[in-house]
């Protein structure tokens, strides 16, 4: 099968979880369920709404199940993952083994949840509407961090609850909508600094291979050059998703397929880029039908 130079496959991050994630994994990759249970200490699908430590491994497994459905019919030119989805993409591309990828995701989710609980008052706020620059300016002025630069009409900022409340009031005066994300922690911000050393220690134990398909890093918005270093940096660095989409488009990609649960990334692509075709694999006939 020839590689499709116009195709990129996208892997979602936290926030894309769905109620039927388990069903797709049971159908396409049932072997991942006992592995995930072993890594996280319980069934992540049963507890996916209880916090990051459970949500991330569940999404990872569902994403690999989705990739299996697509793998036999398409050979993409490039891959990218949003935040945690980078790890799913690296596994799909062969840069990380599946067991190592699951170990990394499980540790990442656990460490992030522990850091959020230890800080106590961190959170994330999505700012929606045609006011990206205003949202970035508000975050800077209030000592907050732009955690996710998702597109022209969506920016997510991280920080302490008091600052997020102030940001909400400020951007609403400009006619922008806001939504507090259901997470306990200021992810992709300096609040996660304490967990980076432990995460680096784990990454040092992981084998890294040359990927069969280039995978973009959300830290650099370019193909991964140092997998361990970029994954460590991603804990505290912003997710440059808008730049990732622009890079893919600039390399001739015109078809974007999102595998895994949800259809968040397909929507972000449609709103950010002109002249593209998008598909969320979830919209096809259910894998468990």
Model confidence pLDDT, tens digit, residues 152-180: 999 999 999 999 999 999 898 888 999 99
Model confidence at 120, pLDDT cuts 50, 70, 90, reads confident
pLDDT of 45 over the 60 cut: yes
The alpha helices in the chain, defined as continuous H runs, are: 21-28, 32-40, 52-71, 85-92, 98-119, 132-141, 161-172, 196-204, 227-234, 241-250, 264-272
DSSP state of 207: -
pLDDT at 19: 85
Model confidence at 221, pLDDT cuts 50, 70, 90, reads very high
% of the chain exceeding 90 in pLDDT:
77
Instruction: Report yes or no: 45 and 219 within 8 Å, Cβ to Cβ.
Output: no
Homologous superfamily of 121-180 in CATH? Malonyl-CoA ACP transacylase, ACP-binding (3.30.70.250)
Instruction: Report yes or no: 282 and 262 within 8 Å, Cβ to Cβ.
Output: yes
Residue positions annotated with a catalytic role: 83, 188
What are the sequence ranges of the domains in the chain? 4-118+189-283, 121-180
Q: Compute the mean pLDDT over every residue in the chain, rounded to the nearest whole number.
A: 92
% of the chain exceeding 70 in pLDDT:
97
In CATH, what class is 4-118+189-283?
Answer: alpha beta
pLDDT at 91: 98
DSSP state of 174: T
Asked if the domains at 4-118+189-283 and 121-180 fall in one CATH topology, the answer is no
Instruction: Report yes or no: 125 and 180 within 8 Å, Cβ to Cβ.
Output: yes
- For the chain, give me the number of helices (H) and strands (E)? 11, 10
3-state secondary structure of 10: strand
Q: How many CA atoms lie within 13 A of 234 on its CB side?
A: 29
pLDDT at 288: 42
């Amino acid at each position: 099968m020839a590689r499709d130079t116009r195709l990129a496959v996208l892997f979602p991050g936290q926030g894309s979880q769905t109620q039927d994630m388990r069903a797709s994994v049971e159908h396409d990759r049932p072997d991942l369920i006992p592995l995930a249970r072993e890594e996280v200490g319980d069934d992540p699908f049963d507890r996916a709404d209880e916090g990051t430590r459970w949500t991330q491994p569940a999404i990872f497994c569902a994403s690999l199940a989705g990739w299996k459905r697509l793998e036999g019919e398409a050979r993409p030119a490039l891959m990218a993952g949003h935040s945690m989805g980078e790890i799913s993409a690296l596994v799909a591309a062969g840069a990380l083994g599946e067991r190592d990828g699951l170990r990394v995701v499980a540790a990442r989710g656990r460490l992030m949840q522990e850091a959020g609980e230890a800080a106590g008052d961190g959170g994330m706020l999505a700012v929606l509407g045609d006011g990206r620059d205003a949202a970035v300016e508000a975050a800077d002025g209030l000592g907050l961090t732009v955690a996710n630069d998702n597109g022209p009409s969506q920016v997510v900022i991280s920080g302490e609850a008091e600052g997020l409340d102030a940001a909400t009031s400020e951007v609403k005066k400009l006619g922008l909508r806001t939504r507090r994300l259901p997470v306990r922690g200021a992810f992709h911000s300096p609040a996660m600094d304490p967990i980076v050393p432990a995460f680096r220690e784990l990454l040092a134990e992981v084998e890294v291979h040359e990927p069969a398909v280039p995978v973009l890093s959300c830290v650099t918005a370019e193909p991964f050059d140092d997998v361990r270093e970029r994954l460590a940096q991603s804990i505290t660095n912003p997710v440059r998703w808008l730049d990732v989409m622009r890079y893919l488009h600039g390399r001739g990609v015109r078809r974007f397929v999102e595998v895994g649960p949800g259809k968040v990334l397909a929507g972000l692509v449609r709103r950010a880029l002109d002249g593209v075709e998008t598909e969320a694999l979830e919209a096809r006939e259910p894998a468990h039908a």
